Structure 1
Amino acid sequence: MNKPDPHTLFILGALDPEMREIARVLGVHRYAVAWAATGGQKCNSSSAYDADSALQMVQGRWRNQLILPRQPVVFVECAVARHAPVLRIDHHHPGDAGFDCRPHDFLRGSSLGQLLHLLGLEPDDTQRLLAAADHCLTSAYQGECPGVDPDELLFLRASWQAKMSSRPFGVVVSSILDAARLVRERYDALEGAALFLDPTLMVPDLPEGAARAGRPVRYRSMEPGGQVKEMLKGASAEMISSFMESHHALGRRVYGNPYRGYAGAYLN
């Protein structure tokens, strides 16, 4: 696809560090940005592909975004009912441009990398970190993404977690490193993962710590509304596929990507 028409509307999915940078880049290049919404509320990661509308921020307040019938629209990690995009920027589902990209090809795999390529831009150092973290966090922490320093990645990720959780930066770094130590200690070679299966005893920063440790982790968490979700992260493609198939056989709602090393299943 050529560089987007100046009137293109980009509709973005759930907010995370990568999506925040995508929105910033689009704003710098004067493209219209809206956020996927459901029932008048901005979507989160579990609802971004079931959006029924879009919202825009106007003078600090959310407003409905009008999508004109012939306006070119690009979906970034989302989908809005009754609207057909001219392009999807994504890496979550089979058929997405970045779905099967390996760690060494993280820029082509990540949504941020796809956007930068679309706009004819070269990534800076921070953008490389953001793209690698979002596409393949465990591999990035293990030095498998060219040009990505694992210690710089830890600094970036801890800074974001500190901002989002209102915790001091040093506390977050210590928490991540403590979680990494615990994952190494509890790694079960027979299971091929460190197990944390009691959702009432969640370890702070466990997924981040496991990625830093470079060990697969299988854990359960309590979701809003009382749902229990089981996750497997940082594992091989074969382990991820087996995890997804076993839960799917039990009739559970499953998602994941073997190429990116993660999967999840809702147990109830």
Structure 2
Amino acid sequence: MIDRDWHFVLGAQDPEMREIQRVVDSEHLAWSHAARHKRRCNPRTAYAADGVVRVGADQIPRPAVLPPKAPAVFVECTVLGVEPVVRVDHHHPGDPGYEVEPEQFMDGASLGQVLRLLEREPTETQRLLAASDHCLTAAYQGRCPGVDPHELLFLRASWKAKVMGRTLSDVVEGILDASKRVKRHFDSEFNESRFLDPTEIPLDLAEGAAYAGLPVRYRELLPEGVLKEMFKGGTPEAVEAFMAAHEAAGRQVYGNPYRGYAGTYWGGRRVSEVAGRIVQEV
């Protein structure tokens, strides 16, 4: 039964979280965004929030309060010092959706967990959103029951076009081109496609790799000069090997072998230093 006193605290923004917010709001339940230093959290800070804000359509964070006695539902986030009554997540060991296979994607995806809490049946669009967030590569390969890969491509491309200010046709062409490049770069020795130079990454690489159904390892430079390395679309064993190698090197690693992805941050460096390291490794 729905508890009308629930206060939903929402993590970093993405298409699935946006739909979760819309659903919670339609139920007239309280919600706010996880925040750190009075700014809405991003994926790196979502599990170290120190408060909440409300971010409107203008993207301006406004002060908000998480009532001390309100039963909080954390959705892909953690507010330090607050214990939730329910956790909705699939990123970390112990999360309700962590070990859920693609064939049961609605049980694994955060959106599916929220819909179950609110006793609502998913729409076709919600099923597409849940599959794409929980297990994108598997969804593109037809492993998610009731999810059409072509409809999924249209949905994903439409979202990317909107947020990036590109035309739909440009995004679709970019994804298909990236898919072809991933296939050309596939290294049978490592059983993955590698794009280790962040200056030569196709714009739609991750999406193209998922569409191609091949594991891909790539690096990108974040605006703050941090080098990020990602591995997506791999088997559980391959993801675990990626995580173990970086952990052995002393780096913090995140990921989920059951969902086929992992990543790590190499730490803050000047761009020139990072580029030099890449040239030496390649």
TM-score band w.r.t. shorter chain: over 0.9
- How far residue 200 of structure 1 moved from its aligned partner, in angstroms, is 1.8
**CA–CA separation in structure 2 for the residues paired with 1:179 and 1:200:** 15
> Given the superposition, is the C-alpha separation of residues 71 and 224 from structure 1 closer, same or farther in structure 2, using an over 3 Å criterion?
same
Residue 239 of structure 1 corresponds to which residue in structure 2?
Answer: 238
1:20-31 residue pairs with structure 2 within 5 A?
A: 20-31=18-29
Aligned partner of 2:88: which letter? Answer: I
1:1-268 residue pairs with structure 2 within 5 A?
A: 2-3=1-2, 5-57=3-55, 61-268=60-267
**CA–CA separation in structure 2 for the residues paired with 1:63 and 1:206:** 35
**CA–CA separation in structure 2 for the residues paired with 1:35 and 1:188:** 42
* CA displacement 1:35-88 (0-9 Å, x = unmatched): 011111111111111110101246955322112221111000000111111110
Consecutive unaligned residues of structure 1, counting only runs of 5 or more, are: none
Aligned partner of 1:7: which letter? Answer: D
SS at match of 2:43: coil
Contact preservation (8 Å) 2:39, 2:61: no
**CA–CA separation in structure 2 for the residues paired with 1:59 and 1:66:** 19
Aligned partner of 2:174: which letter? Answer: S
**CA–CA separation in structure 2 for the residues paired with 1:195 and 1:80:** 36
SS at match of 1:91: coil
- How far residue 25 of structure 1 moved from its aligned partner, in angstroms, is 0.5
**CA–CA separation in structure 2 for the residues paired with 1:204 and 1:68:** 42
* CA displacement 1:77-133 (0-9 Å, x = unmatched): 000111111110000000000000000010000000001111111111000000000
**CA–CA separation in structure 2 for the residues paired with 1:96 and 1:175:** 34
Contact preservation (8 Å) 2:12, 2:46: yes
- How far residue 236 of structure 1 moved from its aligned partner, in angstroms, is 0.2
> Given the superposition, is the C-alpha separation of residues 105 and 226 from structure 1 closer, same or farther in structure 2, using an over 3 Å criterion?
same
SS at match of 1:157: helix
Consecutive unaligned residues of structure 2, counting only runs of 5 or more, are: 268-282
* CA displacement 1:167-197 (0-9 Å, x = unmatched): 0111000000000010011111111101100
Aligned partner of 2:25: which letter? Answer: G
- Which runs of structure 1 show a deviation greater than 6 angstroms over 4 or more consecutive aligned residues? none
Percent identical among aligned pairs is 53
**CA–CA separation in structure 2 for the residues paired with 1:265 and 1:56:** 29
- How far residue 7 of structure 1 moved from its aligned partner, in angstroms, is 2.0
Aligned partner of 1:259: which letter? Answer: Y
> Given the superposition, is the C-alpha separation of residues 46 and 58 from structure 1 closer, same or farther in structure 2, using an over 3 Å criterion?
closer
**CA–CA separation in structure 2 for the residues paired with 1:96 and 1:49:** 13
Please report the TM-score for the alignment, with normalisation by the length of structure 1: 0.97
Aligned partner of 2:108: which letter? Answer: G
- How far residue 229 of structure 1 moved from its aligned partner, in angstroms, is 1.2
CA RMSD of the aligned region, Å? 1.1
Task: Give aligned pairs, total.
Answer: 266
Contact preservation (8 Å) 2:227, 2:266: yes
**CA–CA separation in structure 1 for the residues paired with 2:56 and 2:259:** 36
- How far residue 226 of structure 1 moved from its aligned partner, in angstroms, is 1.0
**CA–CA separation in structure 2 for the residues paired with 1:233 and 1:59:** 31
